[in-house]
Structure 1
Amino acid sequence: MFAVEFKHVICCLVWLFALSSFMLGCSNASGSKAPTVVILGAASTKDLLEDIAAAAKASLGDPIEIEISTGPSHALAQQILSGAPADLYVSANRQWAEAIVDADLASDSIDWLANSMVVVAPANSKLSINSLEDLTSADVKRIALAGENVPAGIYAEQALTHYKLWDPLNVAGKIIRGHDVRSALAYVQRGEVDAAIVYATDARLTDDVRVVAKLDPASHTPIIYPLVRMRTSSRESEQVYQFFLGSEARQIAESYGFQTLVTDQGKE
């Protein structure tokens, strides 16, 4: 009888030890999980954000995870306005950053970067496209722009209107729209269109396209990328935000061809 009871006690102790070890392990796993900073950014900043995020993680002392999601600026802003979690938001125009600010969701918003627009054609194209006016040639059948609500698409349409090319190209049915500016670039890379209007920084990312024309900055609204920090952001997001405004991030941005609009002391 005693042996049976002793065996029962031992089994209970083993079970309790196993349970306590499991709970301690769960606690440690939970406690060791690094804080996560969520960044939503314009499609044209994808590679840039990934490089700056990697530099930030290497520079900051505390372990931190940075999740990046990119896409059309207006779609990302609408997600934030609908309650999607985000710590930082990078828009390719002021309009959508201002919408976040006007909704009282931002604690900080600063003009961070600037960009320009270019016309690109496939690097191996046999067509004679060497200027903006060549887009009206009968040989040019398809010209890709970003979506009509996407900043890059808006800037491109403004520029074509400025050069009095929008109506003839649109009436001729040459304009096709991509989901975002990277989609328009991909169409050219794959040779699915004869030309596209994209950001100068996008054209630098691939040898599959060549720049045939640079658009006058006066032909469209200034291309400004605000950096917005959400009001609900954490201490870690504040650290990442400050890193994005610092000299190392500025050097990375300039290596991609962006113009930086802030210094270590603040806005230029």
Structure 2
Amino acid sequence: MFPSSRYYLPPHILILLIGLGQVIGCTEQAPTDSPAQVVILAAASTKDALQEMANAAVAASDVPLTIEISTGPSHALAQQILSGAPADIYVSANRQWAEQIADAGLSAKSIEWLGNALVLVVPKESQLRIERLDDLNLPAVQRIGIAGANVPAGIYAEEALKYHHLWENLTGSDKLIRGHDVRSTLAYVQRGEVDAAIVYSTDAMLTDEVRVIERFDPASHEAIVYPLVRIRSRNTNPAADHLFEFLKSDEARKIAENYGFVSLSNIDGVSK
């Protein structure tokens, strides 16, 4: 090995290198006008309404803003957050998964944001005589779509069918076809792959390819509540804080109501 004295740098060379490093460091800094980014993970049923809200928020922002929205089953999105997936805002279609986020210490703020209703739909051109819930027991009705067992829409549907004493017969006759989430369940009935399906009223409003047969009594299932959660993060994100507040605004509520959602209380929940 060379003696350590061979690595000695004269003071004027050392000063030159330090100055060069400072110049390089300055040139590598991110541009100050780069867009602020916010990531939303949300229940599939909120996709269209949330996209319109995001567009409105971007248009109203004083700074460049990018909002990334990923939708899917509430329970799967919650598991992603619990596993460390990056997210700033989470929208669940029931209280259960939002509570798990809070119990894990990942919820900075949470409100009960929107409400919804459950409906029975059939393909628009269906020739089957399905006029009420009890008609699901008819032999001619072979396939009934509902969302997955852990998906809020599937949980609500199961509760409603049990309330109306239909669950045991429908499961015993293997009529129930599970969808990945409520939107895939809606797609089944749109394509005529099932004879009927149970979806949210907001989903049924999005298409003219289905007919609503019956609206479930709210007493037949747990209240359909969409918590809005600001995810706790080690890094501050003022854009996410502003978006969270925007989603509670009158403008956002009007958009939600245009899609058939019911606006709930806007009182902030206690941080956990």
8 Å Cα contact 1:113-1:226 kept in structure 2: yes
Secondary structure of 1:124 counterpart: coil
**Residue 81 of structure 2 aligns with which residue?**
80
Question: What is the deviation of 1:231?
Answer: 1.4
Q: Percent identity?
A: 58
**Residue 165 of structure 1 aligns with which residue?**
166
Opposite residue 249 of structure 2, the aligned amino acid is G
**Residue 38 of structure 2 aligns with which residue?**
37
Question: What is the deviation of 1:33?
Answer: 1.9
Secondary structure of 1:130 counterpart: coil
Question: What is the deviation of 1:266?
Answer: 6.2
Partners of 2:135 and 2:256 in 1: how far apart?
A: 32
**Residue 237 of structure 2 aligns with which residue?**
234
Secondary structure of 1:197 counterpart: strand
Partners of 2:183 and 2:133 in 1: how far apart?
A: 20
Q: 1:105 to 1:266 in 2, by over 3 A?
A: closer
**Residue 70 of structure 1 aligns with which residue?**
71
**Residue 258 of structure 1 aligns with which residue?**
261
> Which of structure 1's runs of 4+ aligned residues deviate more than 6 A?
none
Opposite residue 140 of structure 1, the aligned amino acid is V
Partners of 2:33 and 2:65 in 1: how far apart?
A: 11
Secondary structure of 2:67 counterpart: strand
8 Å Cα contact 2:41-2:87 kept in structure 1: yes
**Residue 151 of structure 1 aligns with which residue?**
152
Secondary structure of 2:105 counterpart: coil
Q: What is the 5 A alignment of 1:201-216?
A: 201-216=202-217
Secondary structure of 2:32 counterpart: helix
Post-superposition CA distance 1:19-70 (Å, at most 9, x none): x9xx95x756x43320100000001001111010001111121111000000
Secondary structure of 1:40 counterpart: strand
Report the aligned-residue RMSD. Answer: 1.7
8 Å Cα contact 2:109-2:268 kept in structure 1: no
Q: Across the two proteins, how many residue pairs are aligned to each other?
A: 244
Opposite residue 56 of structure 1, the aligned amino acid is A
Partners of 1:258 and 1:217 in 2: how far apart?
A: 14
Secondary structure of 1:32 counterpart: coil
**Residue 134 of structure 1 aligns with which residue?**
135
Opposite residue 146 of structure 1, the aligned amino acid is A
Opposite residue 86 of structure 1, the aligned amino acid is A
Partners of 2:69 and 2:150 in 1: how far apart?
A: 22
Question: What is the deviation of 1:141?
Answer: 0.5
Partners of 2:207 and 2:90 in 1: how far apart?
A: 26
Partners of 2:33 and 2:143 in 1: how far apart?
A: 53
Secondary structure of 2:84 counterpart: coil
8 Å Cα contact 1:245-1:262 kept in structure 2: no
| TM-score normalised per structure 1 | 0.88
Ranges in structure 2 where 5+ consecutive residues have no aligned partner:
1-22
Post-superposition CA distance 1:143-170 (Å, at most 9, x none): 0000000000000000000000001111
Partners of 2:223 and 2:265 in 1: how far apart?
A: 16
Partners of 2:55 and 2:131 in 1: how far apart?
A: 38
Partners of 1:54 and 1:132 in 2: how far apart?
A: 39
8 Å Cα contact 1:40-1:88 kept in structure 2: yes
Determine which of 241, 245, 249 is the counterpart of 1:246.
Answer: 249
| TM-score normalised per structure 2 | 0.86
Post-superposition CA distance 1:112-153 (Å, at most 9, x none): 000010000000111111111111111111000000000000
8 Å Cα contact 2:41-2:71 kept in structure 1: yes
8 Å Cα contact 2:110-2:268 kept in structure 1: no
